Amino acid sequence: MLRVENLSFSYGKIQAVRNVSFEVKKGEIMAIIGSNGAGKSSLLKCVAGLLKPQTGKIYMEGEALEASAYKTVEKGVCLIPEGRWIFSNLTVEENLILGGYTSKTVAQGIERSYDMFPRLGERRNQRAGTLSGGEQQMLAIARGLMSNPKVLLLDEPSLGLAPLIVNDIMKIIQDANKAGVSVLLVEQNARKALKIAHHACVLKHGTIVKEGTGTELAQDESILSEYLGNVNKNKKDRLIINA
Amino acid sequence: MFFQQVINGLSVGGIYALMAVGYSLIYSLLNFTNFAHSITVTIGAFATFYFLAEVFQNIYAGILFAIVVAGILAMLIQILGYSVLLKKNAQRIYLLITGLGISTMCDNLVIIAFTSRFRVYPANFSTKAINVFGATVGTIDLIILAVSAVALIIVQLFIKKSRAGLAIRGASFSLETASIMGINTQKLILIVFLIAGALAGLAGALLGAKYTAYPALGSNMANKAFISSVVGGLGSITGAVIGALILGIGEVLISGYVSSAMRDIFSYTLLVIILFVKPSGLMGVDTGERA
Ligand SMILES: Nc1ncnc2c1ncn2[C@@H]1O[C@H](COP(=O)(O)OP(=O)(O)O)[C@@H](O)[C@H]1O
Ligand SMILES: [Mg+2]
């Protein structure tokens, strides 16, 4: 459905993504795991049209995507960026309305968002900047779904959230997927991501070093131990606690 | 006398506000001051003059023509002047220099094209003075005040209530985030230049009616409008209007009761005081660096 072919991207001399190819199939959750600085965010920004890759192509349902963020949204691909990028000067509801900028069913989308996240409904007229981290992540996901995307790109949705909330977020991603949205999930939190992923790959220094099903990679001790070796002590503790 | 001065000040302030809002809108979206803004004011006055002289002697039709011409000119300035730099995400100083260049070049082109003579509109608002609450007030000042107020209210409603207005408010927080909502930010920027240009064209048309049309009109007045928007808080529309009204009334009262030589000193002193006391302006939020 969403196919990336031989994609490379560099910031000047720093090469962040090297010749990456993969495909997100219709209806699946695909995870890309990798440690800090592996190139995950750069890769997703290329897919979302925010960065223009030096080489390589991105196809959505067979059609090549331009490096243009708004056109990518129109093609049904929506990015929920790392750090959430909430419009903190606007209210919760205004954030949702902007999320549905390309949608013809904004009212229904807002209703669906409040069904999914009652806490957002209670805070609909509150400035989004005053929400807690978890609430902001919920808003970011609800806002992303407002455009009725076919593919959702999620950049580290668990970042900075308490373990219990991470579980909620993963559950929501699974629910959205069951409702028909294909998902490309990028995570440092490997165990959580692999648990819900149908397919996954490992990104290291900008290249894909391993691929497989979620379960295969979750059982691949060499991957996990090496991967755990790359994250700092706090993150490691969190992973173990969550496991 | 005092009441008359206040109305006069409000009409001057109203025109400053039309220009100041343009500075604020563009600043809030793109984080730079559009120094080419003044030329759209000058062109607004000349467009009205030539429309009245050559096409049709109706001041309201002339004003509408000026609004259209200045709006288009502002979009051209964005397309031909700024858009390449913005796409490259150039440092703001380059945008400022480009704006100054456009402004200087256009001011001179206007002198070449229209000479530096002062042009009196062949058709104008009534020059009669009318009696309001026992004070004599110029009809022209009342009309200018009313027209400015209506234009500013329309723009405010557009920003606060419309879908595109919401997109502008979102984009003024972050253009990049707006783009991943599916908003065509290049188009949005053009809309903002169109609004700023249309308001500036209206301001120019009204200034030409109140004074005359001449090549330095835009630069002279836009300076005051720029001070207004800094005093009110760059990037804030309400702030721009408040700053403009303070400046307009203050200037008229100072010229009336102290000396007209003190008028500009008042404006710049106010600017300096605000920059010392509250650099972000009356309604501004502190965002650190400003350009
Ligand atoms: N704006 C930037 N300018 C220069 N280098 C960058 C920029 N953003 C990221 N990088 C570099 O690109 C590499 C990949 O970063 P990123 O894609 O953010 O990784 P991840 O999301 O996996 O943590 C890193 O080496 C990082 O330092
Ligand atoms: Mg990242």
Specify the pLDDT at position B288: 44
A160 and A66 assigned to the same domain? yes
Query: What is the reported pLDDT for B26?
Result: 96
What residues have a C-beta under 5 A from ligand 2, the ion?
Answer: A 40-41, 82
Residue A226's pLDDT is what? 66
Closest CA to B173 of B218, B235, B119: B235
Please check whether residues A167 and A110 belong to one and the same domain.
no
Which residues of A lie closer than 8 Å to B, measured between beta carbons? 48, 50, 69-70, 73-74, 78-79, 81, 85, 87-90, 94, 97-99, 101-102, 143, 147
Q: Read off the pLDDT of each residue in A9-13 and give the average, rounded to a whole number.
A: 94
**Domain match, A44 and A130 both:** no
Residue A57: band (very low, low, confident or very high) from pLDDT cuts 50, 70, 90:
very high
Its domain, for residue A101, covers 85-148
The answer on A186 and A143 residing in a single domain is: no
Q: Would you state the pLDDT for residue B35?
A: 95
Is the pLDDT confidence value at B240 over 80?
Answer: yes
Q: Indicate if the pLDDT at residue A145 is higher than 50.
A: yes
Under the banding of pLDDT at 50, 70 and 90, the label for residue B135 is: confident
- Contacts of residue A171, defined as CB under 8 A and 6 or more positions apart, other chains included, come to none
Contacts of A69 in chain B (CB under 8 A): 176, 179-180
Average pLDDT of span B37-62 = 96
- A232 — pLDDT class (breaks 50, 70, 90): very low
Residue A227's pLDDT band (cuts 50, 70, 90): low
Closest CA to B240 of B281, B197, B186, B269: B281
Nearest residue to B200 (alpha-carbon basis) of B83, B34, B56, B58? B34
* Substitution candidate for ligand 1 out of A14, A50, A188, A230 with most atoms within 8 A of CB: A14
Q: In A, which residues are within 8 Å of B184 by CB distance?
A: 70
Q: Is residue A211's pLDDT more than 50?
A: yes
Task: Output the residue whose Cα is nearest ligand 1's atom 14.
Answer: A39
Atom of ligand 1 at shortest distance to CA of A45? 17
**Mean pLDDT taken over chain A:** 90
What span, in angstroms and rounded, lies between the C-alpha atoms of B240 and B178? 24
Examine the domain organization and report whether A154 and A237 are in the same domain.
Answer: yes
**Which residue in the set A90, A143, A147 is minimally distant from B169, CB to CB?**
A90
Lowest mean pLDDT among A189-193, A231-235, B56-60, B142-146: A231-235
pLDDT tier, A100 (very low <50, low <70, confident <90, very high otherwise): very high
- Residues of chain B in contact with residue A89, where contact means CB-CB under 8 angstroms, are 169, 172-173
Q: Is the pLDDT of residue A91 over 70?
A: yes
Mean pLDDT of B72-85: 97
Q: A65 and A89 share a domain?
A: no
Q: Give the domain-ending residue among A100, A132, A148.
A: A148
Do both A13 and A63 map to the same domain? yes
Asked if the model's pLDDT at residue B291 lies above 50, the reply is no
Q: Whose CA is nearest to atom 3 of ligand 1?
A: A11
Residues A66 and A143 in one domain: no
User: Which of B95, B100, B93, B87 has its CA nearest to residue B26?
Assistant: B95
User: Are B151 and B66 within 8 A, CB to CB?
Assistant: no
Q: Kindly list the distances between the CA atom of residue A59 and the CA atoms of A18, A56, A80, in Å, as whole numbers in the listed order.
A: 18, 10, 19
pLDDT in tens, B158-173: 999 999 999 999 999 9
A102 and A198 part of one domain: no
Is the CB of B179 less than 8 angstroms away from the CB of A98? no
The domain tally of chain A equals: 2
- In which residue are the tokens 């908003």 written? B183
- Residue B167 and residue A101: Cβ atoms within 8 Å? yes
Residues A131 and A199 in one domain: no
| Chain B residues interacting with chain A (CB cutoff of 8 angstroms) | 163, 166-167, 169-170, 172-174, 176-185
**Average of pLDDT values for B2-26?**
93
- pLDDT at residue A210 is higher than 80: yes
3-state secondary structure of A10: strand
Closest CA to A201 of A77, A39, A89, A81: A39
Q: Are B137 and B129 in contact (CB under 8 A)?
A: yes
What is the Å distance from ligand 2's center to A235 Cα? 15
Report the SS3 class of residue A51.
Answer: coil
In terms of domains, do A174 and A232 share one? yes
Tell me the C-alpha distance between A213 and A138, whole Å. Answer: 27
Q: Which of B181, B187, B236, B283 to mutate to test the interface with A (most CBs of A within 10 A)?
A: B181
Question: What whole-number percentage of chain B has pLDDT above 90?
Answer: 82
Ligand 1 environment, Cβ below 6 A: A 11, 14, 16, 34, 36-42
Which residue of chain A comes nearest to B177, CA vs CA? A85
- Residue range B248-279, pLDDT digits in tens: 999 999 998 998 889 989 999 999 999 999 88
Q: How far apart are CA B187 and CA A45, in angstroms?
A: 21
A230 Cα–ligand 2 center, Å = 15
ipTM: 0.89
A202-237 per-residue burial string, b: 16 or more CB within 10 A, e: under 16: bbbebbbebebebeebbebeebbeebbeebeeebee
Find, among A23, A79, A32, the residue nearest to A194 by Cα.
Answer: A32
Q: What's the sign of the alpha-carbon dihedral B59, B60, B61, B65?
A: positive
Asked if A57 and A89 sit in the same domain, the reply is no
Among the atoms of ligand 1, which is closest to the Cα of residue A43?
17
Write down the residue that tokens 């996954």 correspond to.
A200
